[in-house]
């Protein structure tokens, strides 16, 4: 007597989206941005639950703001005080939430493939990936593309460098899929120990100076210092000099080229402190645009009533 199977509008990762679907999301984000800071009626009386099994500020708050701007009701789900501690599976938690009336579950989880696994069965709600281990972070990639499109007019034809810990980066992965789909060129760079053989089948690896010099967009990735500091490089300064955005590298950038970063920035590691608020930096625009993209993503996942 479970609810009948229906097709759901999940957002698992960018590699599942066609060029038309991505363009539709970018267009809808533009629409929502043009509407400004008002509360809409689209989601009135409809519930989203935010399940963050890993720490987050910008993504969690951004989704919550997006949900509320759409007029949705939001449920903040705290894994530490839920029935997960009684051994309930994630799958049963989803079915429970769906039965109670939740239509969209926004999930951040450490386990790569957890969402794809969940999506195999009809859970009664739509899943939105808010960052999954080293796997994917599709709304981050979409907001990055939206920010590029807004700045340059279109994404097709742009040359984008993604620099840093490529191997462990869900942001890199989702951006490569989305950027290639939209017709951008991507190069990867960073420490040799952080290269990713699989991704390099889609985007070539080049030295940092070359990456910075040849591209329209210099996207620096967050280094998880806590993991790598001791083993790979001896200090933040060493990382900055070898792979970060120093004054010298910024001066190599093309005059029109921009700086991006998914945040939070380790100031003085991925880039010199001053570049975070630099005229070339679109880091705060990225954060602001995250709300409009997430409104578009949520809108797509809301079932027709």
Contact status: 6 vs a copy of itself (CB under 8 A): no
Size of the site for a copy of itself (CB under 8 A): 64
Among 42, 65, 112, 119, binds a copy of itself (CB under 8 A): 65
Measured between alpha carbons, how far is 303 from 261 in angstroms, rounded to an integer? Answer: 33
Token pair, residue 266, equals: 């380790």
Measured between alpha carbons, how far is 234 from 133 in angstroms, rounded to an integer? Answer: 25
| Cβ neighbours around 88 below 10 Å, total | 13
Nearest-5° Cα angle at 15, 304 to 225: 115
Contact status: 270 vs a copy of itself (CB under 8 A): no
**Which residues of 78-220 form beta strands (DSSP E)?**
102-109, 126-132, 159-163, 185-189, 217-220
Q: Which of residues 217-246 bind a copy of itself (CB under 8 A)?
A: 225-226
Burial class (CB in 10 A: 0-12, 13-18, 19+), 213: middle
**Least separation, in Å, of the C-beta of 274 and a copy of itself?**
12
**Least separation, in Å, of the C-beta of 32 and a copy of itself?**
12
Among 19, 27, 31, 99, binds a copy of itself (CB under 8 A): 99
Answer whether 216's CB lies under 8 Å from 152's CB: yes
Among 19, 27, 31, 100, binds a copy of itself (CB under 8 A): 100
Contact status: 260 vs a copy of itself (CB under 8 A): no
Query: Which residues of the chain form contacts with a copy of itself (CB under 8 A)?
Result: 1-3, 37-39, 44-47, 49, 52, 55-58, 60-62, 64-65, 68-69, 73, 75-78, 81-89, 92-93, 95-97, 99-102, 225-226, 263-267, 277, 279-282, 284-285, 287-288, 290-291
């Amino acid at each position: 007597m479970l609810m009948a199977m229906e097709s759901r509008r999940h957002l698992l990762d960018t590699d599942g989206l066609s060029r038309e679907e991505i363009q539709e999301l970018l267009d809808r984000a533009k629409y929502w941005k043009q509407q400004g800071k008002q509360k809409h009626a689209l989601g009135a009386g409809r519930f989203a639950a935010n399940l963050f099994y890993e720490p987050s500020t910008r993504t969690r708050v951004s989704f919550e703001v997006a949900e509320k701007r759409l007029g949705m009701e939001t449920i903040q789900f705290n894994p530490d005080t839920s029935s997960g501690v009684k051994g309930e599976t994630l799958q049963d938690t989803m079915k429970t939430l769906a039965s109670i009336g939740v239509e969209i579950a926004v999930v951040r989880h450490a386990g790569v493939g957890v969402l794809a696994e969940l999506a195999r069965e009809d859970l009664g709600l739509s899943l939105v990936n808010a960052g999954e281990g080293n796997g994917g972070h599709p709304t981050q990639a979409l907001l990055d593309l939206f920010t590029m499109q807004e700045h340059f007019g279109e994404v097709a034809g742009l040359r984008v460098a993604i620099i840093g810990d490529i191997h462990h980066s869900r942001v890199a992965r989702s951006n490569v899929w989305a950027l290639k789909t939209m017709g951008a060129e991507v190069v990867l760079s960073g420490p040799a120990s952080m290269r990713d053989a699989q991704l390099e089948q889609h985007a070539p690896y080049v030295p940092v100076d070359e990456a910075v010099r040849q591209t329209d967009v210099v996207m620096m990735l967050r280094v998880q210092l806590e993991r790598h500091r001791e083993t790979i490089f001896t200090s933040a300064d060493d990382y900055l000099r070898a792979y970060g955005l120093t004054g010298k590298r910024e001066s190599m950038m093309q005059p029109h080229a921009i700086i991006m970063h998914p945040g939070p920035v380790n100031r003085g590691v991925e880039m010199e402190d001053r570049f975070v608020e630099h005229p070339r930096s679109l880091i705060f625009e990225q954060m602001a645009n995250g709300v409009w993209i997430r409104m578009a993503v949520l809108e797509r996942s809301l079932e027709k009533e």
